[in-house]
Amino acid sequence: MPTSLPESERIANLLDAQAKAEQLFDAVLARNMIRADVGERALSDEIRDLANEMFGVTRHWHKRIVRAGENTLETARDNPPDRVIADDDILFLDFGPIFEEWEADFGRTYVLGDDPVKHAIRTDLPRIFDAGRDYFRTHPDITGEQLFNHVVELSTDAGWTFGGVIAGHLVGEFPHEKIKGQEIDGYVAPGSTLPMRRTDTNGRICHWILEVHLVDPTGSFGGFYEELLDLG
C-alpha cells in the first residue's frame, strides 16, 4: 500500500471501508443472523462468510468478536469460552474487516427479548459515543488520556461502568502503524499524552476509532459501540 496517497484519498478510503462494514452489519440483521441457540463462534464464522460473499473480504486485522451474555463483560484482549446465545441475551459484534487494504473497525450491540436495562444500555451507547466525539471536536489539543477520562465520566454520569481498558485506537492502511508495548500513544487510554491531532511516523495524519464499552451497575452484562472518531 503506497504511503504517498493524497490525504483526501486516504479519508475517502477509510470512510468507504466503514460504509461497507455498516452494510455488512445491516445485512446481518436483514438475514436474521442474530438469533438464539447459535454459538458465538458459529455466528462469527457466518458473518465472516457473509463478508466474503458481499465484498470479497478474506482478512480481518483483529480477531472477529461476537460476545453474548456474561461474555459482554470481557474486553477484546480476553478469550472467554464460547457461549450459545440465549432468548433474552444482549450481544455485541466487533469486526475489523480489511477492504482493499483499508481497515474498518465497527462494533454494535443487539438485544434479544424485552429486558429494559439491556435496551437502555444499547440506547445509551451511541449517545455516549456522540458526546465523546463532540468533546474531541471541541478540544483541538486533546490527548488520548483526556478523551479516555471524559468517556469514562460520560459513562458514569449515565449510570454505567466503563468496561474497557482503552476507548479507541489508531486506524488506517493495513497494517496501521505498529504499536509496541510502550507506545501507548497509539491508543485512547491512560498514559496516552500526545495530542491526538498529529502525524504518524510516516508523516500521515492520524485517524482514530472511538469505542465505548458500558457495563450495567450489577456487573452482569455489557454493551459495545465503535466506529471512526475523527471522520464522518
In tens, the pLDDT along 216-228 reads 999 999 999 999 9
Q: pLDDT: is 84 or 201 the higher one?
A: 84
**Dist. CA 34–CA 92, nearest whole Å:** 10
Q: What is the pLDDT of residue 19?
A: 97
- Quote the pTM value: 0.95
- By the 8 A CB rule, do 44 and 33 touch? no
Nearest to 185 by CA among 194, 172, 177: 194
Cα atoms in the 13 Å half-sphere on the side-chain side of 169: 19
Q: Which domains does the chain have, with CATH numbers?
A: 7-228 (3.90.230.10)
Phi-psi region of 151 (alpha: psi -120 to 50; beta: other; left: phi over 0): alpha
pLDDT at 93 over 50: yes
What was the pLDDT predicted at 2? 44
Task: Give one DSSP letter per residue of 108-174, joined into a string.
Answer: EEEE-S--HHHHHHHHHHHHHHHHHHHHHHT-TT-BHHHHHHHHHHHHHHTT-EE--S-SEEEE-BS
User: Which tens digit of pLDDT belongs to each residue from 95-131?
Assistant: 999 999 999 999 999 999 999 999 999 999 999 999 9
Type and span of the H or E element at 95: strand 90-95
- Whether 136 and 210 have beta carbons less than 8 Å apart is answered as yes
For residue 50, name the pLDDT band (cuts at 50, 70, 90): very high
Q: In the prediction, which pLDDT does 175 show?
A: 78
The grid coordinates of residue 199 equal 502525524
Residue 33 pLDDT greater than 90, yes or no: yes
- The rounded distance, in Å, linking the Cα atoms of 149 and 36 is 36
What is the pLDDT, as a whole number, of residue 208? Answer: 98
Q: What value does the mean pLDDT of the chain take?
A: 94
Question: Do you find a cis peptide bond into 175, omega within 30 degrees of 0?
Answer: yes
Per-residue pLDDT at 181: 47
Q: What is the pLDDT of residue 174?
A: 84
pLDDT higher than 90, residue 4: no
User: pLDDT per residue over 138-177, tens digit each?
Assistant: 999 999 999 999 999 999 999 999 999 999 999 998 877 5
